[in-house]
Structure 1
């Protein structure tokens, strides 16, 4: 039995996400805790800063649908029902904090690339999730 009741698994859906999934499976496979999968996409308007004079709504929608399909595959692997798989548009660390607080999450699991130097100074999603989280955070080195 796990000491955790609700675990948020934050995935960027990169190939390294599978390492996070495998770690969750190894740690919590016989657990009765609730799992939620979350992928946060930054709005394309943030990424391009309004520099592209076109409507990116359809592209954003297509990216969101692709993310939902990828989460569904991971959800099936982990036994996470579709209603516990979430694609959220926003800033990753902030949205994971919000989701965790709103849904009584007591552990957030994210991948960490172990960056050093300038990348560490600029920050990463894992660092952003760790700082400001009101629950435990497990950073899986990928």
Structure 2
């Protein structure tokens, strides 16, 4: 079996990321082989009004996410330089980063609902179908 040297772990810090990170740590020889990414969306939509919120609100979310991502990295002995927090479309940013760091595996969480998009989740589905790397989809329970 191929051993992975550079593993990109895509997490949602506001959701169940523990299972995804634990699985990635099992695959990696050690934590230094991991890079973690959380993508902040450039705008946020509130239901039922579907009004876009950007600017300072997104900057505040980005700042909070950085603090949380730093804590996750420190707790799991992942070097700070391997923590990424881009702003943009999640799947596109994950693909771009995976290529930039020469990742040979992307680990991402999935949602077990019904239908292919709901089974994988739209982000996981987009990552899977556009990745040049192997993708490990971890089912979130």
TM-score bracket for this pair, using the shorter chain length: 0.7 to 0.9
Give the count of matched residue pairs. 136
User: Structure 1 residues 5, 43: CA separation in 2 closer, same or farther (over 3 Å shift)?
Assistant: same
Structure 1: runs of 5 or more not aligned: none
Q: Which residue of 2 aligns with 1:42?
A: 41
Which stretch of structure 1 is more off in the superposition, 109-118 or 64-73?
109-118
Aligned to 1:17: 17
Provide structure 2 residue ranges, at least 5 long, that are not aligned to the other structure. none
Under a length normalisation based on structure 2, what TM-score does the superposition of the two structures give?
A: 0.83
TM-score by length of 1: 0.83
**Cα pair 1:7 1:33 within 8 Å, conserved:** no
Quick one: structure 1 residues 33 and 122, their matched pair in 2 at CA, closer, same or farther if it must change by over 3 Å?
Answer: closer
Q: Distance in 2 between matches of 1:109 and 1:121?
A: 16
Give RMSD over aligned pairs.
2.5
Asked if 1 retains the 8 angstrom alpha-carbon contact of 2:32 and 2:79, the reply is no
Aligned to 2:108: 110
Quick check: 73-82 or 117-126, which moved more?
A: 117-126
Secondary structure of 1:108's counterpart equals strand
The one-character-per-residue Cα deviations of 1:13-37 (angstroms, maximum 9, x if unpaired) are: 1341011112222332x43762111
Q: Relative CO higher for 1 or 2, CA cutoff 8 Å, sep ≥ 6?
A: 1
Q: Is the 8 A contact 2:110 2:121 kept in 1?
A: no
Contact kept? 1:4, 1:33, Cα under 8 Å:
no
Structure 2 partner of 1:125 = 123
Q: How much has 1:81 moved relative to structure 2?
A: 1.3
Query: 1:119 & 1:110 partners in 2: Cα distance?
Result: 14
